[in-house]
Amino acid sequence: MAKTTRWQGPQRRIGLTGGIATGKSSVGQWLASAAGLPLLDADRYAREALAPGTPGTRAVLERYGAVVRKRPGATAGSSEPPEELDRAALGRLVFNDPVERRWLEQLVHPEVRARFDQELAALARTSVIVLMVPLLFEAGLTGLCSEIWLVDCDEEQQLQRLIARDHCSQAEARARIAAQWPLARKRPLADGLISNRGDAGQWLARVKELLEQGEHVAAIKP
């Protein structure tokens, strides 16, 4: 399977991805805190796109109504607070219905892409940045990255970690995993694989190795 198009500019852009519950957030947090790299987080941008009172939230409520509506308590001296989404209810709805999932992705993905473009412009003079995008391949965002790292584990590990993390049933976990490309499809498309099959933090040596490899390549470029 051929590798997908990569960013060719002078900036090193590390695309960090992986399946749900494979451990990419832990890797991303280390890159941000320990390595000091700017971290652009697609999940955070997606949450912001569906924050209370946003156009995205209003569109979701118009489509689904009370099924996904959550009303926070009013604060003293304030008027009626903006309507808020019940994200758990929305997740159950879209993860079990491909049509509704595509509708939501078409609503949120352009907002996420716009935020990436905004942040990339602001960080244009930064030498190395990390783009943490769970749906990097699925959303067609590989062209933003000069290299792609995939946080990987066995499929059964992924399932059990998701159940333990989110306290969901096996059926719910399988539905959420099935909403993404399988890891087997992503592995050949990545430039670097980070195994998270062992003990917590075992991936650290591999992450450091990938960082050093990239620094070496940058040093020998004309």
pLDDT digits (tens, 9 = 90+) for 90-128: 999 999 899 999 999 999 999 999 999 999 999 999 999
Query: Per-domain residue ranges for the chain?
Result: 12-38+123-216
Work out the number of other CB atoms within 10 angstroms of the CB of residue 143.
12
Evaluate if residue 217 carries a pLDDT over 70.
no
Q: Residue 119 corresponds to which tokens in the numbers above?
A: 């942040």
Look at 62-66, 70-74, 113-117, 119-123 and tell me which has the smallest mean pLDDT: 70-74
Three-state SS for 35?
coil
Instruction: Report the alpha-carbon distance of residue 102 to residue 108 in Å, rounded.
Output: 10
Three-state SS for 14?
strand
Cβ atoms of 180 and 215 within 8 Å: the answer is no
pLDDT digits (tens, 9 = 90+) for 8-61: 999 999 999 999 999 999 999 999 999 999 999 999 999 999 999 999 999 999
Higher pLDDT, 133 or 92: 133
Higher pLDDT, 218 or 95: 95
Evaluate if residue 222 carries a pLDDT over 90.
no
According to CATH, the topology of domain 12-38+123-216 is Rossmann fold (3.40.50)
Cβ atoms of 44 and 51 within 8 Å: the answer is no
Q: Whole-model pTM?
A: 0.89
pLDDT digits (tens, 9 = 90+) for 145-188: 999 999 999 999 999 999 999 999 999 999 999 999 999 999 99
Q: Provide the pLDDT confidence category of residue 218 given band limits of 50, 70 and 90.
A: very low
Closest to 138 (Cα-Cα) out of 8, 13, 1, 18: 18
State mean pLDDT over 185-196: 96
Instruction: Report the alpha-carbon distance of residue 201 to residue 27 in Å, rounded.
Output: 9
The conformation of residue 28, written as its DSSP 8-state character, comes to H
Higher pLDDT, 90 or 72: 90
pLDDT value of position 79:
63
Q: What are the backbone dihedrals phi and psi of residue 201, each rounded to the nearest 5 degrees, phi first?
A: 85, 0
In Å, how far are 10, 16, 38, 43 from 122, measured between CA atoms? 15, 20, 11, 19
